[in-house]
Chain A
Amino acid sequence: MRTDITVKIGGEAGQGIQTIGTLLAEVCHSAGLFTFSIDDFESRIRGGHSFNLLRISNEQVIAPGHIPDILVAIDQRTMNLNKATLLSDSLVILNAENKSDSDADIDDNSCSEADLEGCGSNNILKISLNRLAKEAGGLITANTVAAGCIFAVLGTPFEMLKELLVKKFKAKGDKIIDLNLTAAKMGYEAAGTVRYHKQFDWKPCKTDRIVISGAKAAGLGALASDCRFFPFYPMSPATGVIASVVPYSGKLPIVVEQAEDEIAAVNMAIGASFAGVRSMTSTSGGGFCLMTEGLGIAAMTETPLVIVNSQRPGPATGLPTRTAQPDLLFVINASQDDFPRFVLAPGNPAETFESVKKAFYLSEKYQVPAIIMLDQFLATSQVTQQNFFKVNKDVERFIFTNIDINKTLSPPSEYKRYAVTDSGISPRALPCMGNIMVRATGNEHNEKGEISEDATNKVNMTNKRNSKLAAMKQEMDLPEIFCPKGTDNQFFLTGWGSSKGPIIEAYEILKSDKRANEKGINFGYIIFKDIWPMDAERLKPLIANKKLIMVEQNSNCQMGKLITQETGIVYNASILKIDGRPFYAQYIVEKALEIIS
């Protein structure tokens, strides 16, 4: 039987909320459970309000939980913000300090009786986190105390927690291990006999699954693609992609270089790629704005380039630590004039790994830029996934080598970097690698790479670059379409990228929803992963005569517009979420039911 619990841990930034969440997820993982964890935080290092929302299940979970079954309120604000949403059978672990005069160093942000007013739950477990931490050996262990308490109410055997803590703090020495074990034990015992009414079967269990974020999957995808150079400029929520490859420096031949700005980052990637090394940079919308000129020079010089755009709400600085899907039309159209490019939008970490590999392959095969669309939600959510690391033994580079040159060119000086071919793809040799010269320019140029203002040449070269599009379209996977059987009265929840999980879960809920069934309405879903170039010819027959409800995290229904632009098919309705918070399945369900009522 499916058991599904959502734990919400809230407090101030700096109180170790994320650490508790990670510890919980790791212990769950060691018991073979599935987790989906999101961190919600403000753009600040201390204070404010942040929370970790951890969904735990004994079956695969594809979307975050929403209403907490267990609320852990480390501060007053968490209690006040959440108490109205709590159900009567929810369990609350409350940081309620019982202060005496000697407790000057215990902060007074804990909950009081007054904070409980209006709380929907009757099950409240009051714990003096800081007092227990102090007794355990230091205030710094307060989050370990909290973790101990949470594991107690979840019914986790203490041994499993102990094993993980020992492993986690091994490098820091016995003293730190003992300190944390003591703290965890105190928290565990403070729960007494209180247990949440739903319980898992806790047994150590080895699986081939891992817990991973989209950011890390993107980084590993790049390493699996033989990407060796990562120039970047820090920006939330894109830095995690670069951070995820840093631990592999020294183990693999990679250089991670912090550039002076995003313009430098993208141009350094282009320079390295021109010289023959696969390179990738990662940024968010604002940084992508600065990179758009680089996109143009990559396109004009036909230099392969891979960029990750981890989206956040804008315009301008917008909401730096929040999520959105507002850049789709921007990245498809970014940079002046028009040129072919790939835009891929994976729906979960496993797909992200594959999309990054595909981006490198396609970018080099067609000598065009490839952009991978993540967002804060996908980049930072920690999700249980089947171990999907398929690393090919070799990677295909599509480079015109010295052997090719000597075989096909006589004399070698006949080499034309931008030779017009049927496919539009010209032989890409590397500079200083042989007896030819590779000449690239951002000016319009002739086949040899010389500046040319000739009218016929301009037309020919533009056509050459654009002629790649036909084959590029064939490389695109069609959207994942689930079509329900039965009634003709069907609506399709249609989205792209990171909303995949919440959309599919919403479909699962709607399938057995009374209100939908009474109206004789069936729901299906359509999820786009490979977005651009869109192959209207193959796509059109698949989505024609379907009622589309666009589900997107932007205010102007960008995917809906794109479908209309490319296929002429107009969507019926839209569910657009623009508050910077991720989609929850229940939100989509409610909005979908409103639409059909």
Chain B
Amino acid sequence: MVEPKDYDNDFENKWCPGCGNFLIQKAMKQTFAELNIPPEKILFVSGIGQAGKTPHFMKGNMFHCLHGRALAVATGAKIANHDLNIVVNSGDGDCYGEGGNHFLAAIRRNIDITLLVHNNQVYGLTKGQASPTSALGMVTKLQKHGVTSSPFNPLATALGSGANFVARGFSGEPEQLKELIKQAMNYRGFALVDILQPCVSFNKINTHQWYKDRVYDIQSIGHDPSDLAKAIVLSLEWGEKIPIGIFYQKESIPFHSRVGVLQDRTLISYPFDGEKTAAVF
């Protein structure tokens, strides 16, 4: 049996003490242990930002790529070998800003990967600039007069773009977060888990307590994840109350089942035969 500690490594962690990433990472390790996936059999693809460093601080195969590009790299890897368990660690700036186009395309392709977006509503690695999910009017060192763009709504965008598994978690609710990641891993198709987390160094508004006071579990109030209309209404709720849980889940056909050549076997597993190739020229 795989244990969460099997994912521990001795590489020095570089996150700030109290960072929400610690709890997210813990939930990941617990999930993989419960799913009995050893670190040799998982591929983390990550972008740039504090979230992008997640795979460095744990065991597993890893491709830590460029800003915003994790989904594109993960898509290529999954097409090459759809037997791979691929988890993408991205952040609000990485996924919803720099990688916005890839986010939309990954939803449309329904590529069978799990996307974890560490959403702290601020840029941490570059020291506190606004992110695509920062609140309108939020003051930062570089947005001295407050953020002038409205915040991006990842869940509403995903639902409106045809995503089939859409969830939101909170680093301060680790037990529920673990379940959400597990459901996402088990889901056949593109699975988004947007994870609210505090940034202890640069976001003094959306703190742990701020989230704690607002989040509520939509499953505990009986939300039916097959109800798209209700999911969209919930995705628009933000303020005094913030819903977390599985917003929407519907069985779907993942990319590799839409492509003929990938239906019976993985692309990498086909043998090469030069004579056969020459014969079809």
User: Which residues 59-75 of B have a CB within 8 angstroms of A?
Assistant: 59-66, 69, 72-75
B63 contacts A251, CB within 8 Å? no
B61 contacts A253, CB within 8 Å? no
Q: Let me know if A229 is at the binding interface, CB within 8 A.
A: yes
Q: Which of A248, A273, A432 contacts B280 (CB 8 A)?
A: A248
Smallest CB–CB gap between B208 and chain A, Å?
27
CA distance A449 to B66 in the complex (A): 15
Give every chain B residue within 8 A of A431 (Cβ-Cβ): 43, 61, 63, 77, 84
Give every chain B residue within 8 A of A261 (Cβ-Cβ): 101
B261 contacts A271, CB within 8 Å? no
User: Which residue from chain A places its CB closest to the CB of B47 in the assembled complex?
Assistant: A442
B261 contacts A250, CB within 8 Å? yes
Give every chain B residue within 8 A of A393 (Cβ-Cβ): 273-275
A267 contacts B272, CB within 8 Å? no
A260 contacts B76, CB within 8 Å? no
A389 contacts B261, CB within 8 Å? no
Contact string against B for A residues 291-303, beta-carbon threshold 8 Å, 1 for contact and 0 otherwise? 0011011000100
A260 contacts B102, CB within 8 Å? yes
A272 contacts B77, CB within 8 Å? yes
Q: Let me know if A450 is at the binding interface, CB within 8 A.
A: yes
Q: Let me know if B156 is at the binding interface, CB within 8 A.
A: no
Question: Which one, B19-27, B34-42, B184-192, B239-247, is touching chain A?
Answer: B34-42
CA distance A273 to B80 in the complex (A): 8
Q: Let me know if A269 is at the binding interface, CB within 8 A.
A: yes
Give every chain B residue within 8 A of A264 (Cβ-Cβ): 69, 72, 75, 101-102, 105
Q: Let me know if A224 is at the binding interface, CB within 8 A.
A: yes
Contact string against A for B residues 235-259, beta-carbon threshold 8 Å, 1 for contact and 0 otherwise? 0000000000000000000000001
CA distance A271 to B80 in the complex (A): 8
CA distance A436 to B41 in the complex (A): 9
With A272-B76, A432-B42, A437-B59 known as contacts, the answer to whether A389 contacts B281 (CB < 8 A) is: yes
Contact string against B for A residues 214-239, beta-carbon threshold 8 Å, 1 for contact and 0 otherwise? 00000010011010110100000000
B40 contacts A441, CB within 8 Å? no
CA distance A260 to B108 in the complex (A): 10
Q: Let me know if A252 is at the binding interface, CB within 8 A.
A: yes
Range of interface residues on chain A?
35 or more
Q: Let me know if B267 is at the binding interface, CB within 8 A.
A: yes
Q: Let me know if B262 is at the binding interface, CB within 8 A.
A: yes
With A264-B105, A389-B281, A432-B85 known as contacts, the answer to whether A437 contacts B73 (CB < 8 A) is: no
Of A271, A273, A277, A439, most B-chain CB atoms within 10 Å:
A271
Q: Let me know if B81 is at the binding interface, CB within 8 A.
A: yes
B81 contacts A226, CB within 8 Å? no
Q: Let me know if B1 is at the binding interface, CB within 8 A.
A: no
With A259-B72, A269-B76, A394-B272 known as contacts, the answer to whether A436 contacts B267 (CB < 8 A) is: no
Q: Which of A220, A275, A293, A301 contacts B81 (CB 8 A)?
A: A275
User: Which residue from chain A places its CB closest to the CB of B39 in the assembled complex?
Assistant: A437
CA distance A95 to B71 in the complex (A): 55
User: Which residues 238-286 of A have a CB within 8 angstroms of B?
Assistant: 248-255, 257, 259-261, 263-264, 267-277, 279
CA distance A38 to B11 in the complex (A): 59
A-B contacts besides A228-B80, A260-B105, A437-B60, 8 pairs, CB < 8 Å? A229-B76, A253-B267, A264-B72, A271-B80, A275-B81, A432-B42, A437-B40, A442-B64
With A254-B261, A393-B275, A432-B43 known as contacts, the answer to whether A271 contacts B76 (CB < 8 A) is: yes
Q: Let me know if A100 is at the binding interface, CB within 8 A.
A: no
CA distance A296 to B268 in the complex (A): 25
B274 contacts A392, CB within 8 Å? yes
A-B pairs with beta carbons under 8 Å apart, 11 shown = A228-B267, A248-B280, A251-B280, A254-B261, A260-B104, A263-B69, A267-B65, A391-B277, A394-B274, A432-B40, A432-B84
Q: Let me know if A443 is at the binding interface, CB within 8 A.
A: yes
Which of B's residues lie within 8 Å of A, judged by CB? 11, 39-43, 45, 53, 55-56, 59-66, 69, 72-81, 83-85, 101-102, 104-105, 259-262, 267-268, 270, 272-278, 280-281
Count of A-B contacts with CB under 8 A?
A: 177
Q: Which 3 A-B pairs have the closest CB atoms?
A: A271-B76, A267-B72, A268-B76
Smallest CB–CB gap between B174 and chain A, Å?
25
Q: Let me know if A516 is at the binding interface, CB within 8 A.
A: no
Give every chain A residue within 8 A of B83 (Cβ-Cβ): 432
Contact string against B for A residues 433-450, beta-carbon threshold 8 Å, 1 for contact and 0 otherwise? 011111111110000011
Smallest CB–CB gap between B274 and chain A, Å?
4
Q: Let me know if A509 is at the binding interface, CB within 8 A.
A: no
CA distance A253 to B81 in the complex (A): 13
CA distance A259 to B108 in the complex (A): 11
Give every chain A residue within 8 A of B42 (Cβ-Cβ): 432
With A264-B72, A442-B65 known as contacts, the answer to whether A229 contacts B274 (CB < 8 A) is: no
B75 contacts A268, CB within 8 Å? yes
User: Which residue from chain A places its CB closest to the CB of B109 in the assembled complex?
Assistant: A257
Give every chain A residue within 8 A of B268 (Cβ-Cβ): 228, 275-277
User: Which residue from chain B places its CB closest to the CB of A254 in the assembled complex?
Assistant: B261
CA distance A244 to B78 in the complex (A): 24
CA distance A293 to B75 in the complex (A): 18
User: Which residue from chain B places its CB closest to the CB of A261 in the assembled complex?
Assistant: B101
A249 contacts B267, CB within 8 Å? no
User: Which residue from chain B places its CB closest to the CB of A248 in the assembled complex?
Assistant: B280
Q: Which of A294, A389, A441 contacts B62 (CB 8 A)?
A: A441
B270 contacts A228, CB within 8 Å? yes
A231 contacts B84, CB within 8 Å? no
CA distance A443 to B52 in the complex (A): 11
B62 contacts A231, CB within 8 Å? no
CA distance A126 to B278 in the complex (A): 47
User: Which residue from chain B places its CB closest to the CB of A269 in the assembled complex?
Assistant: B76
CA distance A224 to B281 in the complex (A): 9
Of B65, B69, B73, B85, most A-chain CB atoms within 10 Å:
B73
B61 contacts A439, CB within 8 Å? yes
User: Which residues 552-586 of A have a CB within 8 angstroms of B?
Assistant: none
With A259-B105, A277-B81, A391-B275 known as contacts, the answer to whether A301 contacts B260 (CB < 8 A) is: no
Q: Let me know if A596 is at the binding interface, CB within 8 A.
A: no
User: Which residue from chain B places its CB closest to the CB of A390 in the assembled complex?
Assistant: B278
Give every chain B residue within 8 A of A275 (Cβ-Cβ): 43, 76-78, 80-81, 84, 268
Smallest CB–CB gap between A388 and chain B, Å?
11
Q: Which of A223, A255, A259, A440 contacts B267 (CB 8 A)?
A: A255
B280 contacts A297, CB within 8 Å? no
User: Which residue from chain A places its CB closest to the CB of B265 in the assembled complex?
Assistant: A253
Give every chain A residue within 8 A of B64 (Cβ-Cβ): 440-443, 451
Q: Let me know if A395 is at the binding interface, CB within 8 A.
A: yes
A271 contacts B45, CB within 8 Å? yes
A255 contacts B105, CB within 8 Å? no
Smallest CB–CB gap between A508 and chain B, Å?
32
Smallest CB–CB gap between A289 and chain B, Å?
15
CA distance A279 to B273 in the complex (A): 17
Smallest CB–CB gap between A231 and chain B, Å?
7
CA distance A394 to B274 in the complex (A): 6
Give every chain B residue within 8 A of A248 (Cβ-Cβ): 280
CA distance A451 to B63 in the complex (A): 12
Of B41, B43, B56, B281, most A-chain CB atoms within 10 Å:
B281
Give every chain B residue within 8 A of A443 (Cβ-Cβ): 64
B84 contacts A389, CB within 8 Å? no
